[in-house]
Chain A
Amino acid sequence: MKVLVPIKRVIDANIKVRVKADNSGVETQNVKMAMNPFCEIAVEAAVRMKEAGTADEVVVVSVGPSNSQETLRTGLAMGADRAILVETDDPLEPLSVAKVLKAVVEKESPGLVIMGKQAIDGDNNQTGQMLAALLGWSQGTFVSKIEGSGDTINVTREVDAGLATVAIKTPAVLTVDLRLNEPRYASLPNIMKAKKKPLDTMTAADLGCDMTPRVKVVKVTEPPARDAGVKVASVAELVDKLRNEAKVIS
């Protein structure tokens, strides 16, 4: 079975983003970029399937500008076999990305697509569900456990009330949550080897996909700031302040 893993290049999770002075977006110039953390978990899951013998090929794919190649190389260094870059400089919306990914799925015929539950830039949490819909496939979202292989697999999902396990037909789209695994760091020899692995490039237009955005960004602004408060010297003072100043406890 082939596993396709869509991955996105985003601002590193440890960076505090800054809003641009002209309110057109956030500052991305000279900012450290990295693979979206949920996508790392997805790559790790796919590579472990290959190591366990349930998958025979892992293909990473990214939709975005040409420098997304770096992110794809990271995926290859983690153990993916091959990479596909679908190049576009257009704004990336989940629906248009899902349409591109559908075209890639139709070319590649994977048995599973494993992706992140959320990209930490737009915080949309949509692309996997949309891809599953466009393909008419089942979806296992927010997955913290994958069991079995073959025509039906069991996935455990992290939901607001706790955990829910569903049996889903394959081929399927899975979106992974934090607790599925701990992604490995690529070793130096694997980073060197990754440079020689195949990376195909095509454009969204080659795949017949229209990337025209449906949602217009009117402006991007700073969130309301919170002022730092005071330090209290003791538990008694804390309780007194909460009770008599903030009046939030009785």
Chain B
Amino acid sequence: MSTLILAEHDNNEIAAATYSVVAAAGHLSGDIDVLVAGSGCGAAAEAAAKIPGVAKVLVADSAEYAHDIAENVAPLIVKLASGYSHVLAAASTYGKNVMPRAAALLDVQQVSDITEIESDDTFVRPIYAGNAMATVQSTDAIKLVTVRTTAFEPVAAEGGSAATETVEGTGDAGLATFVSQEVSKSERPELTTAKVVISGGRGMKAGENFAMLEKVADKLGAAVGASRAAVDAGYVTNDFQVGQTGKVVAPDLYIAVGISGAIQHLAGMKDSKVIACINNDEEAPIFQVADYGLVADLFDAVPELDKELG
């Protein structure tokens, strides 16, 4: 028994999500190895070697791994998987893109987005937007699993000293090439790991009104999120979307502003420790999950909140 973790990184740093995947792997039997596939990813590999609990870091430093191209990364996982009982990755867009491709090549039925590990072959995962929890048992010889990172407290970043091993690249599959990316830059904490999240919905009425939320966010050290309706309307970009088909967050405090609380939105935030909401419709379903609900016009309440926070 041993686990291989597909690390997520930007060649320099290991992404927060991966520390949660290592925590999840700690619930499985056997050693934990981490695969760092990238181009010029030496610094990321060094960071991976410092994660407590990691036995070995496999480094595949090669041009074909430069841009997270699934067609190139999946064959690398296939090449390495035979030595492992489990292959884990975060249920991020990276993990979701690469892992099923590797699973199919290995003839394995992947288990997606797990929130609990009951044993080496039995996992709990949300289905139907989290309205039901399925306990599932995999019969495949190798288990390919993606992990809902908010369900596992990340391990520390320092303290380990894993051995590093170089792995040959598997070459460019010649199917896909990177063209460009538009990355939203923000000084605020990352949405999926922030301790406080303040999200706006259709009630915000315009993109520029999100500035009100940003002011509050900066006072609280919070990240800003949004509902699908706010993204669809173009108020904010897609990376803000919280929900069943967006990002899953579980901060200490989630503040929903002008969000009705549709099932699909709740799926992405109902595991938050404390939920507060501001909505002028007291019948809105968000009040059924909110610990503290304020019935008010957000255009009065948010500036007041900003003032109140000093």
Q: Which residues of A contact B (CB under 8 A)?
A: 11, 13, 16-17, 19, 26, 38, 93-96, 98, 117-118, 120-134, 137-142, 144, 154, 157-169, 177-179, 213-223, 226, 228-232, 234-236, 238-239, 241-242, 246, 248-249
Contacts and interface: CB of A to CB of B under 8 A. Distances in A.
Given A139-B101, A161-B184, A220-B133, A179 B128 contact: no
B157 interface: no
B47 to A, nearest CB: 18
Interface string B242-255: 00110100001100
Contacts of B275: 226, 229
Contacts of A231: 282, 287, 292-295
B152 interface: no
A159 B292 contact: no
B70 A141 contact: yes
Q: Which of B134, B137, B192, B295 has the most CB of A within 10 A?
A: B134
Nearest to B245: A118
A230 B104 contact: no
Contacts of B245: 38, 117-118, 120, 177-178
B103 A130 contact: yes
Main SS at interface, chain B: mixed
A195 B68 CA distance: 44
Given A218-B137, A235-B305, A19 B132 contact: yes
A162 B309 contact: no
A215 B137 contact: yes
Given A93-B109, A130-B104, A249-B220, A230 B93 contact: no
Given A98-B104, A133-B104, A158-B93, A123 B110 contact: no
Given A130-B103, A167-B176, 17 more contacts: A129-B99, A133-B103, A138-B71, A141-B70, A160-B239, A166-B69, A166-B177, A179-B232, A214-B138, A226-B288, A228-B287, A235-B305, A235-B308, A246-B253, A246-B292, A248-B196, A248-B273
Interface in B197-247: 220, 228, 231-232, 237-239, 244-245, 247
Contacts of B295: 231
A161 B239 contact: yes
Contacts of B94: 159-160
A121 B267 CA distance: 13
Contacts of A130: 100-101, 103-104
A125 B291 contact: no
A40 to B, nearest CB: 13
Interface of B: 67-71, 74, 92-94, 96-105, 107-113, 122, 126-140, 174-184, 192, 196, 220, 228, 231-232, 237-239, 244-245, 247, 252-253, 263-264, 270, 273-276, 282, 287-296, 301, 304-305, 308-309
Nearest to A127: B100
A234 B237 CA distance: 31
Contacts of A137: 175
Contacts of A124: 110, 112
29 contacts: A13-B263, A95-B107, A98-B104, A120-B244, A122-B127, A125-B112, A129-B96, A129-B97, A133-B101, A133-B105, A141-B93, A157-B93, A158-B93, A159-B94, A160-B92, A160-B239, A161-B239, A162-B184, A162-B239, A215-B139, A218-B137, A223-B130, A226-B288, A229-B275, A229-B292, A230-B293, A236-B308, A239-B308, A246-B292
Main SS at interface, chain A: mixed
A17 B122 CA distance: 24
B103 A139 contact: no
Contact of B112 (A123, A178, A248): A123
Contact of B274 (A129, A219, A221, A242): A242
Contact of B132 (A118, A138, A221): A221
B309 A215 contact: no
Contacts of A248: 196, 252-253, 273-274
A88 to B, nearest CB: 16
Q: Which of A117, A157, A236, A238 has the most CB of B within 10 A?
A: A238
Q: Which of A96, A137, A221, A249 has the most CB of B within 10 A?
A: A249
Q: Which of A118, A140, A248 has the most CB of B within 10 A?
A: A248
A209 to B, nearest CB: 13
A133 B182 contact: no
B109 A164 contact: no
Given A139-B70, A160-B94, A239-B309, A120 B129 contact: yes
Contact of B276 (A131, A139, A242): A242
